[in-house]
């Protein structure tokens, strides 16, 4: 088993930590915010205990939590063999983190960037180990998704790539090889779709509920683009679209003003209890009729 460092205890980081610990790896989970760590552990325990009820395998929650150590100090990562970074999709924050993390982590460790848009070669340039730097785009919710995008940077060694591929395999993930480019494959397509769907709501062409119903009923998608935005995080969607817009300088990636408004208002989706839909204690989605002003009237539940 591998000793893996996980940096960032948000939705993605918690999911990565849970998936690793469920598969027998020891995990060092680090976040600057102690409350984020507390919420992550609570969420992991809940997910494990509910697994059987939701049609999944029976999971020993205590054993999973027992494999996860936590701290707010990066020194916890000192002995990690692989370190998976999951912080906010913000270049300045990532730059500061990697420059602080690089000298702390053992020289032979591999860095994995769980990023949705930022090029891997650019991130690797922040470290003194570009040959030991790999990109992995995990999908949310991490423990339930069977595949990831695996992205080498310009300097990534074959040994580092195979080391990460083996780790992913042990987590039950199929690694789909993708070349390094901003947004990779999934988010070059998905972020355009979600951004355009947000424009439809912003321009009062349709409600969020209607947009998602078209995708579910006409195209057979299990979730519509705005339900997906709430699951990923509206703020994460915005940051990813902004990265694409900045990198390609192409107007087709111009972020929808509604995404900016919702992010500023704290309407980030499931993780905050309200986004394009409102989420009650049971996490059932109810359409809000979200408009550019952020208002609307609740309608009947539309989530699967």
Mode of pairing for the β-strands spanning 285-287 and 277-279:
antiparallel
Q: Which domains does the chain have, with CATH numbers?
A: 3-177 (3.40.50.720), 186-287 (1.10.1040.50)
**Cβ-Cβ contacts under 8 Å for 242 (sequence gap 6 or more):** 255
pLDDT in tens, the chain (304 residues): 999 999 999 999 999 999 999 999 999 999 999 999 999 999 999 999 998 887 888 999 999 999 999 999 999 999 999 999 999 999 999 999 999 999 999 999 999 999 999 999 999 999 999 999 999 999 989 999 999 999 999 999 999 999 999 999 999 999 999 999 999 999 999 999 999 999 999 999 999 999 999 999 999 999 999 999 999 999 999 999 999 999 999 999 999 999 999 999 999 999 999 999 999 765 556 666 554 434 333 332 232 2
pLDDT tens figures, 200-228: 999 999 999 999 999 999 999 999 999 99
Q: Where are the alpha helices (DSSP H) in 67-207?
A: 91-101, 120-124, 158-170, 186-202
**What sign for the dihedral angle of Cα 225, 48, 147, 31?**
positive
Structure tokens at 220: 């057979």
Distance CA 144, CA 299 (A): 29
User: Taking the CB of residue 171, how many other CB atoms lie within 10 A of it?
Assistant: 20
- Tell me which residue has tokens 């922040």: 126
Q: Which contacts qualify for 284-288: CB closer than 8 Å, 24 or more apart?
A: 285/227, 285/230, 287/207, 287/208, 287/209, 288/208
Claim: this prediction has a pTM higher than 0.85: yes
Angle between helices 257-264 and 186-202 (to 10 degrees): 90
What DSSP string describes 89-126? S-HHHHHHHHHHHTTTS-TTPEEEE--SSS-HHHHHTT
Output b/e per residue, 49-74; b: 16+ Cβ within 10 A.
Answer: eebeeeeeeebebeebbebbebeeeb
Q: Which residues are catalytic?
A: 116, 137, 149, 187
* pLDDT tens digits, one per residue of 24-47: 999 999 999 999 999 999 999 999
| Residues shown for the chain | 304
């Amino acid at each position: 088993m591998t000793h893996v460092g996980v940096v960032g205890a948000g939705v993605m980081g918690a999911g990565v930590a849970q998936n690793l610990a469920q598969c027998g790896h020891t995990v060092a989970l680090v976040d600057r915010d102690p409350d984020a760590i507390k919420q992550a552990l609570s969420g992991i325990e809940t997910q494990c205990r509910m697994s059987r009820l939701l049609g999944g395998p029976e999971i020993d929650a205590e054993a999973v939590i027992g494999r996860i150590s936590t701290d707010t100090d990066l020194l916890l990562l000192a002995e990690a063999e692989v370190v998976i970074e999951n912080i906010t999709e913000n270049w300045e924050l990532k730059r500061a983190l990697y420059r602080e993390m690089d000298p702390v982590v053992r020289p032979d460790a591999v860095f994995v960037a769980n990023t949705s848009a930022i090029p891997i070669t650019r991130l690797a340039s922040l470290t003194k180990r570009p040959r030991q730097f790999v990109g992995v785009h995990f999908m949310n919710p991490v423990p339930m998704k069977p595949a990831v995008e695996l992205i080498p940077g310009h300097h990534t060694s074959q040994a580092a790539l195979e080391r990460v591929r083996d780790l992913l395999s042990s987590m039950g993930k199929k690694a789909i090889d993708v070349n390094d480019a901003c947004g990779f494959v999934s988010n070059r397509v998905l972020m355009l779709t979600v951004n355009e769907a947000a424009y439809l709501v912003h321009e009062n062409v349709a409600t969020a509920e209607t947009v998602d119903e078209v995708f579910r009923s006409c195209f057979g998608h299990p979730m519509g683009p705005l339900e997906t935005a709430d699951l990923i995080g509206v703020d994460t969607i915005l940051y990813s679209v902004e990265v694409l817009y900045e990198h390609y300088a192409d107007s087709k990636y111009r972020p929808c003003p509604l995404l900016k408004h919702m992010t500023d208002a704290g309407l980030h989706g499931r993780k905050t209890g309200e986004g394009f839909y409102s989420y009650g204690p049971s996490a059932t989605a109810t359409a809000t009729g979200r408009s550019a002003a952020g208002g609307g009237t609740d309608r009947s539940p539309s989530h699967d």
